[in-house]
Amino acid sequence: MARRLAGYVHLTDPDTGQPVVLAPGDDVPGWADELITNPAAWADDDEQPAAPSRSPQPKAAGRSEKKS
């Protein structure tokens, strides 16, 4: 069984120089597997991939709410 990512990983494709983002559940290409050296990037076998967290969006600056 292939290793799974614990979270999102940002890499640069060594052949194209283009940025690549890999997510939990994505198939990790061999070139990327070699570049991901942080053990915390990999999920344990019994661990589920982390769901992306959503932060509340800040209110737009300069907008005020009307009071009645």
Per-residue model confidence as pLDDT tens digits over 19-41: 999 999 999 999 999 999 999 99
- Residue 60 confidence (pLDDT) above 70: no
Residue 43 burial by Cβ neighbours in a 10 Å radius (0-12, 13-18, 19+)? middle
Please indicate whether residue 54 or residue 45 has the higher confidence score (pLDDT): 45
pLDDT at 2: 73
Q: How far apart are CA 20 and CA 38, in angstroms?
A: 17
- Residue 62 confidence (pLDDT) above 80: no
Domain boundaries, the chain: 4-37
Instruction: Please give the model's pTM, rounded to 2 decimal places.
Output: 0.62
